[in-house]
Amino acid sequence: MKFGVVVFPGSNCDDDTVHVFRHILGQEIVKLWHKSTNLEGCDFLIIPGGFSYGDYLRSGAIARFSPIMDKVIEHANAGGYVLGICNGFQVLVEAGLLPGVLLRNDHQKFNSKNVYLRAATNHSLFTGDLDLTRAYKVPVAHAEGRYFTDEATLKQIIDNDQVLFRYCDADGQVTEAANPNGSLDNIAGICNAGRNVFGLMPHPERASDPLLGNTDGRILLEQLLAVTA
């Protein structure tokens, strides 16, 4: 399995992602420049966090039109795996690979803090072995992280078991107070209907190295390695 991290102007979590996958998880991983149309044989693509194109217009709206995104879409439509983290999640919804939108946080401020997540399903590669009762501590860093969609689409993704993570408190309780940005139904991460494209706002790559004092994010990212088994 070969991982590829797509780098846009303004990406700032690409090196974090490379470090975790290469040095913590022991995987082969390369950077893919946004102007390239060569995926270099990568099996699993990651769109990292950051501020692609300075977050002008809506976050991710310009990056969605970078040359490499046509190949990312082709890869996803052919069943290839794609993960979008934070700004990467925003890029994937702008590209139509995931349903919904990411709106400005309900409190109109930038969020940068640790939050808690609870996996909502085991019916995905990303959450297959996670404890559905456990609260995982993972940081967020976003101004536009409020997940929203229309009522019919929300019902569809819930009925299809596409919600991967919800914001919760330290005890694993999904409450309004635990929601850091006003996301609909406390949604922190989803997948597509084909279950091969994943997006979440929190940053598991920032909670994977023991030197940082928190490795809950590593537990999440390790789930992705099941595809190599």
**What positions carry a catalytic annotation?**
86, 203, 205
Distances (CA, A) of 33 to 40, 42, 57, 59, 90: 11, 13, 21, 19, 18
**Structure tokens of 123?**
């019916």
Q: Which of 134, 142, 149 is nearest to 105 (CA)?
A: 142
The residue count of the chain comes to: 229
Instruction: Tell me how far CA of residue 99 lies from CA of 149, 188, 197, in angstroms.
Output: 8, 13, 11
Residue 157 and residue 149 in contact, taking contact as beta carbons nearer than 8 Å: yes
Find tokens 């995104």 and name the residue: 69
DSSP code string of 6-35: EE-TTB-SHHHHHHIIIIIS--EEEEEETT
